[in-house]
Amino acid sequence: MATWSAPGKVFLFGEHAVVYGKPGVAMAIKPRVYVTVRKTKHPSHPKSPYIDECFKVMGVRGSVYVHSQLQSSSGLGSSAAVTVATLSAINDEFNLGHSRGAIADIAYTIEKKVQHGRASPTDTYVSAMGGLVLITGSSKRRLPPQNLQLVVGNTLVSHSTAKMVEMVGTARKKHPDIINPILDAIGAVTLNALHHIGDPKELGRCMDINHALLEALGVGHPVSSRLIIAARTTGAYGAKITGAGGGGSIIALCPRRAKSRVAGAIESCEGRAIITTIDTEGARRE
* Binding site residues, ligand MEV, CB under 6 A: 11, 15-16, 18-19, 120, 122, 161, 165, 243-244
DSSP class of residue 74?
Answer: S
d(CA 81, CA 74): 13
- Give the residue with the Cβ less far from ligand MEV, 11 or 237: 11
Buried b / exposed e across 2-16, counting CB within 10 Å, b at 16+?
Answer: bbbbbbbbbbbbbbb
| Shortest distance, position 238 Cβ to ligand MEV, whole Å | 19
| Shortest distance, position 59 Cβ to ligand MEV, whole Å | 28
Edge-to-edge order in the sheet of strand 272-276? 238-242, 249-253, 150-154, 272-276
Q: Tell me, yes or no, if 123 is annotated catalytic.
A: yes
Which stretches within the chain are classed as H helix?
49-58, 78-93, 100-114, 121-129, 161-174, 176-195, 200-217, 222-233, 259-268
CA distances from 2 to 8, 17, 208, 225 (A): 20, 38, 42, 42
| Shortest distance, position 161 Cβ to ligand MEV, whole Å | 5
- Tell me which of 92, 123, 177, 184 is the catalytic residue: 123
- Give the residue with the Cβ less far from ligand MEV, 33 or 258: 33
3-state secondary structure of 151: strand
What amino acid positions are annotated as catalytic residues?
123
